Structure 1
Amino acid sequence: MNLYLIRHSTSEKANAFKKDFERELTSEGRELINRAANGWKKIIPTFDLVLYSPYLRAEQTAKIIGEVYNISDKLSKENNLAAGCSTGMLIDTLSRYDFENIAVVGHQPDLSYHIANLCSKNSLNINFPAAAISKINFSSAVKFSGGKLEFLIPAEAY
């Protein structure tokens, strides 16, 4: 199985007038994820499923990815993927699906922790910028320390 972890694109700054889960992508963030997803198509033909956090900025990111890949019918909101999601919760969520290529749109620092927990028995220090994508390959089921990190590409690469 191939797991693609994607950080939501650039969003509004936190402020006292809007709840964190209501923060939207900026116009620059929309452009960034659109450009990045179009670049990903050169190395990732499609996703079988795109799961995303219930936060608005993650949903907006997933919808742009769905439009670029023409797979809007393969998007699914997962409440377990909200900010603060543990790697155990991610594994439990993924275990409900039987697909070869699953993308997950989430948040920092969660995504860095997931990579460290899924690909190493030790800690890793990973910079995971907005609209970046990583690929972790598992020869069998998704499990702690069972994955191989194949790449982590910042959006600026496209």
Structure 2
Amino acid sequence: MGQVLVVRHAIAEPRDQAPDGRDRTRRVSDRGERVMRRAALGLRRVVEHLPLVAHSPLTRAVQTAAILDAAFPETTARRELAALAPGGDPAAVFRWLAEVSEYPVALVGHEPDLGYWVGQALTGTPVSFLAFRKASICLLEFPDGPAPGAGRLTGHFPPEVLGDLSEVAE
């Protein structure tokens, strides 16, 4: 059974503060980093380990993946996946997941693409019906392997809920 954590990138700086003024180089803001760190620590109360984090090539997604990686020291790999970039190919994400040997896997990307991908995973049709705020995490199970319409929604957490979980004593 494959568990997939779908993660919207953390809050990023405005475009005019990006090093070259381009969307793809926007960095995670200081506030975004704080919120995502708390959320990632709370996520440890939901999933025990996270061996693989795949991310969009955009700077803010790479930085969000690094924050997840730091919260799960046993993470063995991070992979850049072009299909997670804005306008990426959702079918390529399913194909890539089918080749993964160890779950759970995190996918760090962008809206509206993540919302449509989750809708396709659950219903077979690329529809968006979840509010995917920045630093939100959606948990999907694929009992028979990742494919359109084969997913089951097992959790959807805004960053505040995960942040609160990070403060609960173990």
TM (norm. structure 2) is 0.87
Identity value in percent: 26
Moved more, 88-97 or 53-62: 88-97
Q: Distance in 1 between matches of 2:124 and 2:107?
A: 22
| Residue in structure 1 matching 2:49, options 46, 52, 77 | 46
For residues 82 and 119 of structure 2, the distance between their equivalents in structure 1, rounded to whole angstroms, comes to 22
1:153 pairs, out of 157, 160, 170, with: 157
Q: CA RMSD in A?
A: 1.6
User: Which position in structure 2 is the counterpart of 1:131?
Assistant: 135
Pairwise CA distance, 1:69: 0.9
- Partners in 1 of 2:82 and 2:118 — Cα distance? 20
From 27, 31, 51, give the equivalent of 1:28: 31
Specify every segment of 5 or more residues in structure 2 that has no aligned partner in the other structure, as ranges. Answer: 164-170
Q: Is the partner of 2:71 in helix, strand or coil? A: helix
In the other structure, the counterpart of 1:141 is 145
Written as runs of structure 1 = structure 2, the 5 A alignment for 1:1-158 is: 1-15=2-16, 17-71=20-74, 73-121=76-124, 123-157=127-161, 158=163
Distance (Å, rounded) in 2 between the aligned partners of 1:56 and 1:124: 24
Runs of 4+ in structure 1 over 6 Å off:
none
Residue type of the alignment partner of 1:5: V
In the TM superposition, residue 81 of structure 1 has moved relative to its aligned partner by: 1.7
Q: Number of aligned pairs?
A: 158
Q: For 1:61 and 1:55, locate their aligned partners in 2 and report how far apart those are by CA, in whole Å.
A: 10
Structure 1 residues 11-43: Cα deviation after superposition (integer angstroms, max 9, x where no partner): 012239511110000000000110000011111
SS in 2 for 1:21: helix
Note the alpha carbon deviations across 1:44-76, whole angstroms, 9 max, x for none: 111121001100000000001111111454211
Summarize deviations over 1:83-127 as a string: whole Å, max 9, x none: 112321211222232122111101001111011100014644211
